Amino acid sequence: MEGKKHIKMELLTLIILVTIVLVFWFMAMASQEGRAIGLVDGQLARCSEKPNCVCSEYPDDQEHFIEPFVIPDSFDNPEQVSHLIKGVLEKAGGKVQIQSNSYLSAIFESRFLGFVDDVEVRIDMSSKRVYLRSASRVGYSDLGANRNRATAIYSLLDKQTTTAF
């Protein structure tokens, strides 16, 4: 009798694990659909209430806020800045989907199951700021992945802008 109980527990554990993997797999497939939100009234979209997003447009949203990147004075050509940011996004592992002199959109795929996150960048040459939004398409928490990605992108931008001249 004890052996049958043990087999039932192993089977139940296996079913639960398979179910969890399938749920994550379906979520990853769902994240493949869709696209970045884009600009809303000339700014990056606000983050939802979920903790899986960061954005530098809205300092009043402290949970999601990151500082914008300051463009050095030596960069005064929007095309040059856009090209630089495109290179940084690609170096960070992104695939740029849209590029203009004032807006870029890229996707980043996780190594595990291929979850897709969107990174959007708004370049404001009048204030010499680069605003960034990094958000997961599905799920609730990202365990800090978007904040870490934004920090890595800013670090690469800083390195590129200080060595460019």
45-93 pLDDT per residue, tens = 999 999 999 999 999 999 999 999 999 999 999 999 999 999 999 999 9
Q: What is the pLDDT of residue 12?
A: 78
More confident residue, 34 or 109: 109
Task: Taking the CA atoms of 74, 78, 80 and 83 in sequence, report the sign of the dihedral they define.
Answer: positive
* Cα angle 53-56-61, degrees, rounded to a multiple of 5: 70
pLDDT tier for residue 27 given thresholds of 50, 70 and 90: low
Q: Which H or E run contains 145?
A: helix 145-163
Q: What is the pLDDT of residue 13?
A: 80
Alpha helices in 33-144 (DSSP H): 78-91
Q: Reply yes or no on whether the pLDDT at 36 is more than 90.
A: no
The CB density around residue 149, as the number of other CB atoms within 10 Å, is 20
Q: Domains (ranges, CATH) in the chain?
A: 34-163 (3.30.310.80)
The two beta strands, 116-124 and 103-109, are antiparallel
In angstroms, the CA 104 to CA 22 distance is 33
85 contacts: CB under 8 Å, gap ≥ 6: 104, 121, 123, 130, 157
Q: Is 109 left (phi over 0), alpha (psi -120 to 50) or beta?
A: beta
The CB density around residue 137, as the number of other CB atoms within 10 Å, is 19
- Say whether pTM exceeds 0.85: no
In angstroms, the CA 56 to CA 58 distance is 6
Considering the chain, what percentage of its residues have pLDDT values greater than 70? 86
With contact defined as beta carbons under 8 Å apart, do 129 and 69 qualify?
yes
